[in-house]
A and B are shown apart, each in its own frame.
Chain A
Amino acid sequence: TQLLEQSPQFLSIQEGENLTVYCNSSSVFSSLQWYRQEPGEGPVLLVTVVTGGEVKKLKRLTFQFGDARKDSSLHITAAQPGDTGLYLCAGVMTSGTYKYIFGTGTRLKVLA
């Protein structure tokens, strides 16, 4: 069974703090995506990483894909209340049809 474990599951921090969310699997993925979901809405794509070791930055968010393409991390610098939400990683496999394996999710709350 393919599984993506995310940690931590829940995180409550003060505004201005830094945090890192991890996404780990024993499976190799063609690419890995990070989504953020807010209450009452569907997930919204933040970034796709494709190459092992790749690092992408989106303002205060830094995403890294593991060298072996089995894991990823999301680092947020100086978190703000607007970063509050559910963060989901999704591994993409492209053997035959496209297959998306979603992680267990990290619920982040940033307090003002």
Chain B
Amino acid sequence: ETGVTQTPRHLVMGMTNKKSLKCEQHLGHNAMYWYKQSAKKPLELMFVYSLEERVENNSVPSRFSPECPNSSHLFLHLHTLQPEDSALYLCASSQVGGTGGNEQFFGPGTRLTVL
């Protein structure tokens, strides 16, 4: 139990669908992250919400849209995805500032397949 939950765990969608991934952290952290993990590639940071400020990777296509309504919840809205977007999408949280070790706690991920 990592304190970070993600739903759904698996998702299959067509290129014209709209879906959302959900992440919830129960650790009281003040930063949340979306990562993409593809085969044979390093973990790619997509979006960060830290202290209510959004920081994004400029190379992420606009068909991915994050939403962070509060410090415990994070969504990734998906629309008109491409087959190359198929990957494991990981959510993480951390505590920014303070005396912590900047440790990130990851959820189990959503395995996304785009047909």
Contact = CB atoms under 8 A, between A and B. Distances in A.
A and B pair up: yes
Contact of B108 (A42, A90, A94, A102): A42
How many of chain B's residues touch chain A, expressed as a range? 20 to 34
Contacts of A4: 42
Q: Which one of B43, B48, B90 has the highest number of Cβ atoms from chain A below 10 Å of its Cβ?
A: B43
Contacts of A43: 43, 90, 104, 106
A31 B42 contact: no
A101 B96 CA distance: 16
Contacts of A88: 43
B1 to A, nearest CB: 11
Contacts of B45: 99-100, 102
B55 interface: yes
Interface of B: 2, 4, 31, 33, 41-43, 45, 48, 50, 53, 55, 90-92, 94, 96, 101-109
In terms of DSSP, what is the predominant structure of the interface of chain A?
strand
A10 B103 CA distance: 26
Interface string A1-35: 00110000000000000000000000000110101
A41 B106 CA distance: 9
Given A42-B2, A44-B2, A48-B101, A98 B96 contact: yes
